[in-house]
């Protein structure tokens, strides 16, 4: 404490005991116990109020100990917390383990205190760490890599000897070639690489800040984690904690979202909609017939040309019973979208990749099933689009209708919705409108 005060530290960490990587549960427990003991002792002797003191969370890969450590140290009046012992985890490319460690700590620490990640120095994992809830980083990696002739990029690391061109326009690289740098003295080469590595780190942090401002952090994380299989394995782990991330994420953003694959199903906007649709939404009171229409390229869906034709058919059939028919769209990645919610963010404010992957289709199918199961319609009419959807949607709807003893009709578009299909739809609607419920 006295040393850190003398050297003028703005942010200082108590003298904790790092858990390390390949250690037993027994040894990890000792590091947690002693770190907490020292933290309590610290507050008995603390006199300096100008320094922001960091309370470290230890436990390493033993998540029960990380939880215990975070809960205990979170009750103490530290201004900042830090996750200890991640360096060896990252050196072994166990970003999946690191993800579990960060999320376990975040769940058990006060949400209003910044979380520091010790030893995080490579820009290719910054965005993932930020998305998981880390606010601060520190590392000597930029200098250590430079001593080994290692050249950082936002997507990985290159050996200087294997580069023909610099993939960077920072002030260090813009007027130099790898060959010129290799011809420098060892000391000058190390300085060059260290400064370049810092520029790359700073640039990535600025990218992350801008992505947060624009509501594009998820897209940046998805792009960066494709740089290495170990990173993408960690990204997929987010699914297990998607509910926690959703609770701490804003529900409205300045930009629409991009959906690329089923990996995006864990993003907060989709989880938020899934949690709210069955809990907070209620179909119109007189709804007896659920008309399920496929998503269209145009958004919002009710402004699509084909929908206007279907709306005209419904209007012509019966002015009196029009409210009996409730229209919903089935669409990736959200599942089922009632027409009343069609323009609400982010149901129309998104761009998605076609063709849809199997997992995304499966997710949407499950959401359709849950919706039909939850609400009390008498008839379900499905307009199936086999171009983008397979027979699973039909089979699922048919199965749940049979269980609930609902009437079920299906029309398949095969290629596109034409006059014949619209005529069939009109006849089906007429038939079911004439039924007495």
Token pair, residue 193, equals 């690489």
Establish if 259 belongs to a structural domain.
no
In this prediction, residue 412 carries a pLDDT of 80
In this prediction, residue 321 carries a pLDDT of 65
Q: Quick check: 213 and 129 in contact, CB under 8 A?
A: no
Instruction: List, in sequence order, every residue forming a beta bridge with 410; answer none if it has no partner.
Output: 382
Same domain, residue pair 43 and 175: yes
- CA 353/CA 117 separation, integer angstroms: 34
Query: Domain limits at 378?
Result: 286-433
| pLDDT exceeds cutoff 80 at 308 | yes
Please classify residue 76 by burial: count the beta carbons closer than 10 Å to its beta carbon, then call 0-12 exposed, 13-18 middle and 19+ buried: middle
Same domain, residue pair 21 and 155: yes
Of the residues 247, 272, 297, the one at which a domain ends: 247
pLDDT tens per residue, range 68-92? 999 999 999 999 999 998 888 888 8
- Phi, psi (5° rounding) for residue 137? -135, 155
- CA 277/CA 342 separation, integer angstroms: 12
Q: Quick check: 154 and 224 in contact, CB under 8 A?
A: yes
CATH number at residue 224: 3.20.20.105
CATH number at residue 356: 3.40.50.10630
Same domain, residue pair 316 and 241: no
In this prediction, residue 421 carries a pLDDT of 83
- CA 419/CA 263 separation, integer angstroms: 38
Same domain, residue pair 30 and 175: yes
Q: Quick check: 429 and 381 in contact, CB under 8 A?
A: yes
Same domain, residue pair 206 and 302: no
Same domain, residue pair 232 and 296: no
Q: Quick check: 135 and 116 in contact, CB under 8 A?
A: yes
Establish if 376 belongs to a structural domain.
yes
Q: Quick check: 336 and 371 in contact, CB under 8 A?
A: yes
Same domain, residue pair 320 and 207: no
Question: Helix 358-374 to helix 268-280 angle, to the nearest 10 degrees?
Answer: 20
pLDDT tens per residue, range 357-416? 999 999 999 999 999 999 999 999 999 888 888 888 999 999 999 999 999 999 887 656
Establish if 269 belongs to a structural domain.
no
Same domain, residue pair 225 and 311: no
Same domain, residue pair 192 and 299: no
Contacts of 357 (CB under 8 A, 6+ apart): 261, 262
Same domain, residue pair 196 and 303: no
pLDDT tens per residue, range 102-116? 999 999 999 999 999
| pLDDT exceeds cutoff 90 at 159 | yes
**Alpha helices (runs of H) in 59-122, residue ranges in sequence order:** 63-74, 87-91, 95-108
Same domain, residue pair 198 and 311: no
């Amino acid at each position: 404490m006295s040393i850190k005060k003398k050297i003028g530290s703005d942010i200082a960490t108590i003298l904790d005991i790092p858990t390390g990587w390949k250690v037993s549960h027994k040894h990890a427990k000792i590091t947690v116990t002693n770190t907490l003991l020292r933290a309590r002792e610290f507050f008995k002797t603390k006199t300096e109020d100008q320094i922001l003191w960091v309370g470290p969370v230890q436990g390493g890969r033993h998540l029960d100990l990380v939880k215990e450590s975070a809960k205990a140290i979170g009750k103490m009046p530290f201004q900042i917390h830090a996750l200890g012992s991640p360096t060896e985890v990252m050196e072994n490319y166990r970003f999946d383990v690191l993800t579990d460690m960060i999320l376990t700590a975040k769940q058990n620490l006060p949400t209003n205190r910044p979380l520091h990640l010790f030893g995080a120095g490579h820009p290719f994992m910054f965005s993932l760490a930020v998305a998981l809830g880390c606010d601060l980083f520190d590392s000597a990696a930029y200098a250590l890599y430079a001593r080994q002739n290692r050249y950082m990029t936002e997507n990985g690391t290159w050996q200087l000897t294997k580069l023909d061109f610099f993939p960077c326009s920072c002030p260090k690289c813009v007027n130099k070639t790898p060959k010129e740098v290799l011809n420098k003295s060892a000391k000058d080469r190390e300085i060059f690489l260290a400064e370049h590595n810092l520029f790359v780190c700073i640039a990535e942090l600025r990218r992350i800040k801008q992505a947060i401002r624009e509501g594009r952090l998820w897209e940046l994380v998805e792009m960066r984690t494709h740089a290495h299989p170990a990173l993408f394995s960690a990204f997929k782990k987010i699914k297990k904690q998607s509910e926690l991330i959703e609770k701490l994420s804003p529900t409205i953003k300045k930009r629409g979202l991009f959906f690329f694959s089923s990996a995006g199903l864990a993003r907060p906007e989709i989880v938020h909609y899934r949690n709210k649709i069955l809990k907070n939404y209620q179909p119109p009171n007189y709804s007896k017939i659920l008309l399920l229409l496929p998503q269209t390229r145009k958004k919002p869906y009710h402004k699509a040309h084909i929908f206007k034709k279907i709306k005209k058919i419904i209007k012509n059939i019966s002015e009196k019973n029009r409210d009996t028919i409730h229209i919903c769209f089935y669409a990736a990645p959200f599942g089922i979208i009632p027409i009343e919610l069609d323009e609400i963010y982010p149901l129309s404010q998104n761009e998605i990749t076609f063709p849809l992957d199997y997992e995304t289709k499966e997710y949407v199918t499950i959401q359709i099933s849950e919706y039909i199961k939850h609400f009390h319609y008498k008839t379900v009419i499905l307009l199936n689009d086999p171009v983008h959807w397979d027979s699973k949607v039909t089979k699922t709807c048919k199965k749940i209708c049979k269980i609930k003893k609902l009437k079920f009709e299906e029309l398949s578009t095969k290629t596109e919705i034409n006059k014949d299909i619209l005529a069939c739809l009109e006849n089906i609607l007429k038939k079911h409108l004439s039924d007495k419920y």
